[in-house]
Amino acid sequence: MRALIDAIKTHNYAYYVLDNPTLEDSEYDQLRRSLLELEEAYPDLVQPDSPINQVGDMPLSAFTQVTHDIPMLSLGNVFEYDDLRDFMRRVNDRLSVSQQNPEYEMELKLDGLAVSLKYVHGKFVQAVTRGDGQTGEDITQNAKTIRNLPLWLAAAADIELLEVRGEVLMPKAGFERLNRLAEENEGKTFANPRNAAAGSLRQLDPSVAASRPLAFYGYSVNQGLPESIDTQSAALAWLTDIGFTVSAVEVVQNPRAAQAYYESVIEARSDLPFEIDGMVIKVNNLALQQQLGFLSREPRWATAYKFPAETVMTRLNDIEWQV
Ligand code: NAD
């Protein structure tokens, strides 16, 4: 357990703080699963510094640190249809008979960096990274350079405080161009678009962020949503109406429909202009979301339905090659 904890912490630091991962996500996920299995088998031995319930890692001290009004958490994971049904069963277990089998809403799981944006009477005032979930980095100046991030929302002028959360990502074409340029100039290349987006947004010089092809996709309204809006799908439609780009949305009524949409997105995945690493499935009704609440690291009303890894690293040991 100690070895796993130390390894996970080292990899968290490289990934979340340095934006420079030192192993594949699938290998990292395996380390987490091994630690979780040990913790479940030996609950008395769970270490006080276990990273299992931790969100992200500490914010970079070079930026002003901002405490989130509402914590920015992570998401639980499911990897196959049976896990998805277990997730839906757990949701049902916490609902009354008349609330059973709620409608779900599905979104693309954008592979970027979570950011909270604040607007006061329609004017963009602050952007903060997720950081460790409680405290993030103030990246307002860099966020201002993101081309599709609205700096003024006429339709929200009468909302005192609007908080929109979403993902900052780097489209695949921009990422490839950036790495090609870096190679030509013998500069540092990025492991993947997610790390390129995170590294670009957490630059001290906003002109560097401005030169990078970043985009913002909204996925939730955490403060200031008009009271007449009562579902996640309507909240995203409203975000689109007032000027944001959001991820594709599908409302489904049962696990089979969710599975069918998930499979159709896997088919279309390589044609998307940006990387996704799964789908996010959310209880659509906002009042039910509130009723279901949160675990320490994730909401009970949503989970990530991850895609199978496209490639897995294999080391060939002790093989005698015959030529
Ligand atoms: P996560 O990325 O699995 O899920 C939570 C995040 O999903 C949210 O914070 C949000 O930013 C994002 N998201 C994207 N689209 C969304 C949508 N439509 N609605 C809501 N949220 C959406 O969780 P995480 O805690 O950020 O990181 C775990 C991931 O990072 C794993 O894939 C893991 O493999 C990887 N990781 C890799 C290493 C490594 O060394 N390779 C180290 C640490 C973490």
Same domain, 43 and 192: no
Q: Is residue 313 included in any domain, yes or no? A: no
Could you give the CA distance from residue 286 to residue 298 in angstroms, rounded to a whole number? 16
Could you give the CA distance from residue 170 to residue 274 in angstroms, rounded to a whole number? 7
Q: Which atom of ligand 1 is nearest to the CA of 130?
A: 9
Tell how far the Cα of 316 is from the centroid of ligand 1, in angstroms.
30
User: 130: annotated binding-site residue?
Assistant: yes
User: 167: annotated binding-site residue?
Assistant: yes
The per-residue pLDDT for range 10-54, each reduced to its tens digit, is: 999 999 998 889 898 889 989 999 999 999 999 999 999 999 999
Average pLDDT over residues 150-160: 98
Mean pLDDT, rounded, of the chain? 93
Residue 32 backbone zone (phi > 0: left; psi -120 to 50: alpha; other: beta): alpha
The band of 322, judged by pLDDT with boundaries at 50, 70 and 90, is low
pLDDT at residue 60 in the model = 86
Q: Is residue 321 included in any domain, yes or no? A: no
Same domain, 223 and 252: yes
Nearest CA residue ID for atom 32, ligand 1: 25
Could you give the CA distance from residue 144 to residue 274 in angstroms, rounded to a whole number? 21
Nearest to 227 by CA among 186, 286, 152, 173: 286
Is the shortest distance between the CB of 74 and ligand 1 below 6 Å? yes
Same domain, 37 and 92: no
Is the pLDDT confidence value at 259 over 90? yes
Same domain, 47 and 86: no
Tell how far the Cα of 219 is from the centroid of ligand 1, in angstroms.
14
pLDDT at residue 315 in the model = 65
Q: Which of 108-112, 149-153, 300-304, 318-322 has the lowest mean pLDDT?
A: 318-322
Same domain, 6 and 120: no
Give the range of the structural domain holding residue 167, as residue numbers without chain letter: 55-306
Q: Is residue 199 included in any domain, yes or no? A: yes
The per-residue pLDDT for range 239-257, each reduced to its tens digit, is: 999 999 998 899 999 999 9
Q: Is residue 312 included in any domain, yes or no? A: no
Say if residue 257 is exposed, middle or buried (CB neighbours under 10 Å; 0-12, 13-18, 19+): middle
Is the shortest distance between the CB of 178 and ligand 1 below 6 Å? no
Is the shortest distance between the CB of 115 and ligand 1 below 6 Å? no
Q: Is residue 283 included in any domain, yes or no? A: yes
Same domain, 60 and 203: yes
- CA dihedral for 121, 127, 131, 137, sign (positive or negative): negative
Q: Which atom of ligand 1 is nearest to the CA of 26?
A: 34
Q: Is residue 315 included in any domain, yes or no? A: no
Tell how far the Cα of 322 is from the centroid of ligand 1, in angstroms.
43
Same domain, 219 and 298: yes
Same domain, 44 and 70: no
Same domain, 9 and 149: no
- Which distant-in-sequence residues (6+ apart) come within 8 Å of 262 by Cβ? 106, 279, 305
Nearest CA residue ID for atom 15, ligand 1: 109
Same domain, 262 and 168: yes
The band of 195, judged by pLDDT with boundaries at 50, 70 and 90, is very high
Average pLDDT over residues 193-218: 93
The string of DSSP letters for 221-246 reads: EEE---TT--BHHHHHHHHHHHT--B
Q: Is residue 268 included in any domain, yes or no? A: yes
Is the shortest distance between the CB of 234 and ligand 1 below 6 Å? no
Is the pLDDT confidence value at 313 over 80? no
Tell how far the Cα of 20 is from the centroid of ligand 1, in angstroms.
15
Q: Which residues are catalytic?
A: 109
Helix (H) or strand (E) holding 164: strand 161-169
Q: How many beta carbons lie within 10 A of that of residue 27, not counting itself?
A: 14
Q: Is residue 318 included in any domain, yes or no? A: no
* CATH number of the domain bearing residue 93: 3.30.470.30
Same domain, 21 and 106: no
User: 261: annotated binding-site residue?
Assistant: no
Give the helix ranges, DSSP H, for 68-145. 81-93, 140-143
The per-residue pLDDT for range 43-102, each reduced to its tens digit, is: 999 999 999 999 999 888 899 999 999 999 999 999 999 999 999 999 999 999 999 999
User: 26: annotated binding-site residue?
Assistant: yes
The band of 166, judged by pLDDT with boundaries at 50, 70 and 90, is very high
Nearest CA residue ID for atom 34, ligand 1: 25
Is the pLDDT confidence value at 323 over 50? no
Tell how far the Cα of 194 is from the centroid of ligand 1, in angstroms.
10
Q: Which atom of ligand 1 is nearest to the CA of 14?
A: 40
What domain count does the chain have? Answer: 2
The band of 308, judged by pLDDT with boundaries at 50, 70 and 90, is confident
Is the pLDDT confidence value at 144 over 90? yes
* CATH number of the domain bearing residue 1: 1.10.287.610
Same domain, 92 and 199: yes
Q: Which atom of ligand 1 is nearest to the CA of 21?
A: 40
